[in-house]
Amino acid sequence: GDSVTQMEGPVTLSEEAFLTINCTYTATGYPSLFWYVQYPGEGLQLLLKATKADDKGSNKGFEATYRKETTSFHLEKGSVQVSDSAVYFCALSPTSSGGSNYKLTFGKGTLLTVNP
């Protein structure tokens, strides 16, 4: 079945440091890929997405590129802020299925703490 493996946390960085959170996936066909962010006590918010190979998703200074050859979708940010402290989830969704269930399969999440 589909699966997502992401970098174990926690990750602790100083403000303005460079961030990379690795994500690799296993899926049939060509899934859509997502990064979601979860702040304490809240639900998940979509951070960015990519729907086909070589697409780059970007939002709020975060970027991730859909790499079919390495089945990866690593999250990067050039300069993190304290407000970026949260749990980050990589996820995939099938783009075609027997029915119409585009359910998300998530990684375990990576806790990021940014210190001032």
- Rule CB under 8 A: say whether 43 interacts with another protein: yes
Spell out the residues 6+ positions from residue 88 whose beta carbon is closer than 8 angstroms to its own. Answer: 6, 21, 35, 36, 37, 38, 47, 75, 109, 110, 112
Kindly indicate which of the ranges 14-22, 44-52, 61-69, 70-78 contains the residues binding another protein, using the contact rule CB under 8 A: 44-52
Q: How far is the CB of 37 from another protein (least distance, A)?
A: 11
- Rule CB under 8 A: say whether 1 interacts with another protein: no
Q: How far is the CB of 15 from another protein (least distance, A)?
A: 26
